[in-house]
Amino acid sequence: MMRYVVTGAAGFIGSNLIKGLNDRGITDVIAVDDLTQGDQFRNLVDTSISDYVDRSEFLKLLESGQFGRTIKAIMHQGACSDTTATDGRYMMSNNYGYSCALLEFCQSSQIPYIYASSAAIYGGSDVFSETPSCESPLNVYGYSKLLFDQRVRRQLDQTAQVVGLRYFNVYGDREQHKARMASVAFHAFNQYLDRGYVELFSGSGGYADGEQQRDFIAVQDVVNVNLFFLDNPQLSGIFNCGTGVAQSFNALVTAAINACRIHAGDVALSLPELVAQQLLRYKKFPADLVGKYQSYTQADISALRAAGYVEPFMRVEQGVALYAQQWLKKQHQY
């Protein structure tokens, strides 16, 4: 029996990835995570896995030969993703050291290794291409991801597949446990439902109020990209995982509010109407984020397309509306 390993399995992307494998009929999945935050179990309730292993025990079992030659691939989604964290020692151990150990195992065992990198690597850059000249992280989280990508680059001539996916701004179902680190879409739904309006930062970096732009990507698209590389073990490299289109926070929040309004039987409103009715408001840009905030991101996905991924990506108007439907349907659970 060959099994797939998904680390960060109870997390946002990891649990969606397991669900994506299940949708293909794959249930022989070893879920690896740390359930200290116990409510994350909810992300696994509707998935089918063959085993659960705590992240602190997994490497020991792996290196001791506990799994023999039964592992088909490792899809490494586990990491500390808090971009405001300052404990560099923990960040490097958790994000860099653990990833390195899995990489060495996969290369020595000739097992495909697909892992989560991050667009945080680009930091203050205004060009988002998978080249060293564009890489300028603004925090230790971004640096931990960059350092591992650099190590992978030195080993790309190995025969086993290794793929790093630089996730841009991912949103979607199963992120409720992330609290303040959840997506803008998640916070927009909940602000609107709780208090009847949504707040965004005022203008910054030369952008007008709410017009800062990000490459927002639906988690369904992220899963599809992961599975594409799983289906093509001859492909290796570091690839951006974004839509290739920057959209404003105003556009995303407009989609979020209107999804909630339509669900409640109200009519959709334009951005000027939302602002005029104070359903969308702007607050002062935080002083502690000056110089540490990406006002614009847009993935260069030419390498991803060249690798053969041809599927279209959802824009926020479609993806956020779908997410709202999922969230409104089950919000009572949380």
- pLDDT, tens digit, 9 for 90 and up, residues 41-95: 999 999 999 999 999 999 999 989 999 899 999 999 998 766 666 778 888 888 8
Same domain, 224 and 206: no
Residues annotated catalytic, as ranges = 141, 178
Same domain, 221 and 286: no
Q: How far is CA 147 from the centre of its chain?
A: 18
Same domain, 118 and 205: no
| pLDDT, average across residues 108-114 | 96
**Confidence at 202, pLDDT banded by 50, 70, 90:** very high
Pairing mode, if any, of strands 198-201 and 169-171?
unpaired
Q: How many CA atoms lie within 13 A of 206 on its CB side?
A: 2
**Confidence at 157, pLDDT banded by 50, 70, 90:** confident
Q: Are 235 and 188 in contact (CB under 8 A)?
A: no
Same domain, 46 and 184: no
What is the residue range of 102's domain? 3-168+217-241+300-313
What confidence score (pLDDT) does residue 284 get? 93
Same domain, 95 and 9: yes
CATH of the domain at 278: 3.90.25
Q: Are 259 and 324 in contact (CB under 8 A)?
A: yes
Domain count, the chain: 2
Query: Which residues are registered as beta bridge partners of 113?
Result: 74, 162
Same domain, 120 and 184: no
What confidence score (pLDDT) does residue 159 get? 80
Query: Quick check: 332 pLDDT over 60?
Result: no
What's the pLDDT tens digit per position in 122-145?
987 889 999 999 999 988 999 999
What's the pLDDT tens digit per position in 237-290?
999 999 999 999 999 999 999 999 999 999 999 999 999 999 999 999 998 877
For 113-242, strand residue ranges (E) read 113-118, 162-167, 169-171, 198-201, 213-214, 216-218, 237-241
Same domain, 89 and 140: yes
Which pTM does this prediction carry? 0.94
Query: Quick check: 329 pLDDT over 60?
Result: yes
What confidence score (pLDDT) does residue 156 get? 87
Same domain, 185 and 146: no
Query: Which residues are registered as beta bridge partners of 216?
Result: 169
Same domain, 71 and 197: no
- Residue 7 corresponds to which tokens in the numbers above? 């680390």
Same domain, 225 and 281: no
What's the pLDDT tens digit per position in 206-221?
899 999 999 999 999 9
Same domain, 202 and 93: no
What confidence score (pLDDT) does residue 81 get? 66
Query: Quick check: 12 pLDDT over 80?
Result: yes
Q: Are 137 and 123 in contact (CB under 8 A)?
A: yes
Same domain, 10 and 38: yes
Taking residue 329's Cβ as centre, other Cβ atoms within 10 Å add up to 11
CATH of the domain at 77: 3.40.50.720
